[in-house]
Amino acid sequence: MQISGFDYSRVAVDGDVALNVAMAGSGPPIVLLHGFPQTHLIWRHVAADLAADHTVLVPDLRGYGDSDKPADQDGETYSKRTMGDDIVAMAAALGHDSFALAGHDRGALVAFRAAMDHPATITHLAALDVLPTLDMWEVMRGTLGAIGFHLYLMAQPPGLPEQLIAAAPDLFFGHFLDLWTRDPDAIPPDVRAAYLKASREAIPSIVADYRASATVDKAHDEADRAAGNRLGMPVTVLQQDWGDVLPYDAVGLWREWAADLEHQTITTGHFVAEESPETVTTALRALLAR
């Protein structure tokens, strides 16, 4: 499936790795990154709106969708640093040396790392319904870890998680599409089928992405925290209110990383760009005006 009205291209970013990228519009550039277990299609509504007055680039992340899925050789192949470098290289190849960046879920972690590593390139940052990796692991302790069981499953050494997921991939990936959505109609059957097909075909790379969050990604965040590094660009965060289920101070955690922070609690499910695209579009336009 494709986003209506967008052109598509494969853009080389790192050696033999190329990303599938949807492009439309003209004006200041913004890049939109998807999360798990999805593809660039999550942005189909928001991207079409923003393309009225922005150059909008919507890639499949490395390891997802129609982008390349290299084997993980050293634990770094799917680090958020590597995946963030992909996005910077993609934008540069398309003629953009600086751009705004928004990400959802896994894409927000990639966006966060890209913004930390390339502060002169990322002009604005938006993160949808996620905590930075280091904080995520701090929150998901004890019995609260059961909520994020997939984080622990896919953090295991290569072999077991891939085999377990491959035994019932539609059940596994579909579980999250169902559990995390408050409005089932937001993901129509054809889009859901596209997500499940893409995920079935990307099990090793999806697991490698998650495994990196328990190892190298956490180490990168720890190094930045120890060095006192923070995000200098305007930052907007849209986040669910988990209430007593996950009792953490989302605003406080994000403020440790971002001085210029706008934090908004949302009432939709996890897939906010599909459940309430107008909320996301409004927040992104306000961010870009800062």
Tell me the angle at which helices 203-213 and 216-227 cross, rounded to the nearest 10 degrees: 30
pLDDT (average), residues 222-235: 98
Largest CA distance in the chain: 48
Residue 270 falls in the annotated catalytic set: yes
Using DSSP, state whether 168 is helix, strand or coil.
coil
Q: Give the separation between CA 112 and CA 196, rounded to whole angstroms.
A: 26
Taking only the tens place, the pLDDT of each residue in 72-131 is: 988 999 999 999 999 999 999 999 999 999 999 999 999 999 999 999 999 999 999 999
- Strand 235-240 to 261-266 pairing: parallel
Q: Among residues 49, 60, 105, 217, which one is catalytic?
A: 105
Indicate the SS3 state at residue 124: strand
d(CA 129, CA 67): 24
Q: Is 45 a catalytic residue?
A: no
Tell me the pLDDT tens digit for each residue of 138-173. 888 888 788 899 999 999 999 999 999 999 999 999
* pLDDT grade for 246, boundaries at 50, 70 and 90: low
| CB-count burial class (<10 Å; 0-12, 13-18, 19+) for 155 | middle
Catalytic residue among 45, 54, 150, 270: 270
Residue 203, SS3? helix
CB atoms within 10 A of CB 179: 10
Q: What percent of the chain has pLDDT over 70?
A: 98
State the average pLDDT over residues 14-32: 96
